Amino acid sequence: MFTGIISGVGRIVSVQALGSSCTHGRQLTILCPAHYLDDIGLGDSIALNGACMTVTTLDAAQQQFTVDISAESLSKTAALDQTGPINLEKALRANDRLGGHLVSGHVDGIGHVTHFSQVGESWELRVLAPAELARYLAYKGSITVNGVSLTVNQVQDQSNGCEISINLIPHTVHNTALGTLAISAHVNLEIDLIARYVERMLKPELPPDSLPDSRKTPA
């Protein structure tokens, strides 16, 4: 579990194939800021641009760690198969402050940047989200973009998706990898976790005959 508050900006410095076919994934080597790995161990979870991954090797002296990403995960995420800057967030501890919102580290869809420009002291970021995510996006609701917890300022439904507008303060631009985004760049999106449960609760109850045996009421 995460909060969408980026704890460091790293860099993917190496992408190595884990096999010779398209069914094989990749091993990423990530270079971290100094001392970032001091409290990290093998098997710990770290979100890379919002995607929860497991530390498979660790070299704190060289400030590097690796993760193995399956072909399935690569097909559902953006920019995890190429070198470059990346947002990092360590897994949430039970006694940590919840500075952003509840984030699972599971990417729900890939959006692309349609607009990114400075407005006053801040920046306006617009992202076109897939149409299937539109019902989860709301004015002043939460969205995670490349692992960063952000607030939606505008929502505009379109024939090819749902465009959201987000305001980025200078601190966010300077302390995350969002500042490197360009028009048409693909980004990982995760909807508000609570929205998933609201949708489920509002769905009509399934008839008893369609439920798994464990959900049926004994006679």
The pLDDT tens digits for 175-191 are: 999 999 999 999 999 99
Residue 61 has pLDDT above 60, yes or no: yes
Give CA–CA dist 173/191, Å, rounded. Answer: 21
Helix (H) and strand (E) counts for the chain? 3, 13
Q: Percentage of residues in the chain with pLDDT exceeding 70? A: 94
End-to-end CA distance of the chain: 39
**What is the arithmetic mean of pLDDT over 47-71?**
97
Let me know if residue 32 belongs to a domain. yes
Q: What is the pTM of this model?
A: 0.90
Two structure tokens written together for 63? 């400030």
Let me know if residue 211 belongs to a domain. no
What does the pLDDT look like over 131-166, one tens digit per residue? 999 999 999 999 999 999 999 999 999 999 999 999
Give CA–CA dist 45/89, Å, rounded. Answer: 9
DSSP category for residue 81: S
Residue type, 44: D
* CATH number of the domain to which 63 belongs: 2.40.30.20
For residue 57, the enclosing domain spans: 8-90
Residues 60, 140 within the same domain: no
Let me know if residue 215 belongs to a domain. no
Residue 210 has pLDDT above 80, yes or no: no
At 57 the pLDDT is 98
* Residues 102, 194 contacting (CB under 8 angstroms): yes
Q: Measuring CA to CA, which residue among 76, 95, 80, 97 is closest to residue 5?
A: 97
